[in-house]
Copies of this chain bind each other. A is one copy, B any other.
Amino acid sequence: MSQVSHTLAQRLLDGDRRALARAITLVESDDPAGWELVREIYPHTGNAAIIGLTGAPGAGKSTLIGALTKLRRAADRDVAVLSIDPSSPFTHGALLGDRIRLTDHFLDPGVFIRSMANRGALGGLSEAALQTALLMDAAGKDDVFLETVGVGQAEVDIIDHADTIVLVLMPGSGDSIQALKAGIMEIPDIIVVNKADHPLTDTMVREIRGVLSLAPQRGWRVPIVKTEASRGVGVEELVAKLDEHRAYIEAEGTLSERRRRNLRSEVVGLCTFRLRRRLEEQLDSDDTFAGLLDEVVERRLDPATAASRILERLDAAAASREE
């Protein structure tokens, strides 16, 4: 292990913000030193409460996280926030408007905020995000908030790794409830109806109750919390529900079950990502592939047979690596 990485790991474990920031950059840029670092700090993880917040853009997730952070800080807990930002193809930048709400906490050394763009991560977004959560955990954060817009497989993968999943809805926006009803979205642990000063709030709460009443009953009854995050209304109740859920999963043993399942899927996800990258590298460098693709386009060779031929070549390449 290099001296640099050792020093960085030690500083990170001591809770040094700049070390944490540097470590995340290494992981995000897929630097081998980043993976080495995660390996080193991994035994010190598993202590933070990982809370995932998901919901459509505009539902007020960032404002809510700002309000939650304020209460968590008042209780002397250290907080980290990782926002997965849908970067706009129009502005070529991340949609950081909402992020402004978190600036109240920029100068607080007990709060660490980081954004990660969902474009340009070359398919490795969930890998980078999950490694980042481990780094935040190792740096001694008590609460790690993961924020996603909940669309796209990578984002679902990320949010699935949280200990507690919070779905944030706003009144008058029906798509999310339809998605819940249709079973496209899994039932979360807590549902928040934010912007609860809206006249359609109670209608939405009734609709959600209707959907939940159809769901198979498990031990945990999913609470619906009404909030106005921008004024702090209802946020104390949300904190209470987060604590209740944590106590519940710890008592029932579901926390360790969940973590085992999540770690399994993280390992499988990492394997799949690397296999796919290896495949893409071979395709880019292999003229045979371009020839196969031409045959497919000309309808002379079907896609499945082309795939079989490519996998045979990959196996041969693996065999030569083994020799």
Contact = CB atoms under 8 A, between A and B. Distances in A.
Contacts of A90: 181, 183, 211, 214-216
A276 interface: yes
Interface stretch (A13-21, A67-75, A237-245, A296-304): A296-304
A267 interface: yes
A63 to B, nearest CB: 15
Interface stretch (A99-107, A148-156, A222-230, A246-254): A148-156
A266 B310 CA distance: 13
B297 A57 contact: no
Contacts of A89: 183, 215-216
Interface stretch (A4-12, A191-199, A256-264): A256-264
A122 interface: no
Given A57-B184, A151-B179, A267-B307, 5 more contacts: A39-B302, A56-B179, A134-B302, A275-B275, A318-B322
15 contacts: A39-B302, A56-B174, A90-B183, A90-B216, A151-B179, A172-B172, A173-B174, A175-B175, A259-B297, A263-B303, A264-B293, A268-B280, A270-B306, A272-B275, A319-B319
State the 8 A-B residue pairs at the shortest beta-carbon distance, nearest first: A175-B175, A153-B153, A270-B307, A319-B322, A42-B302, A86-B182, A318-B318, A319-B319
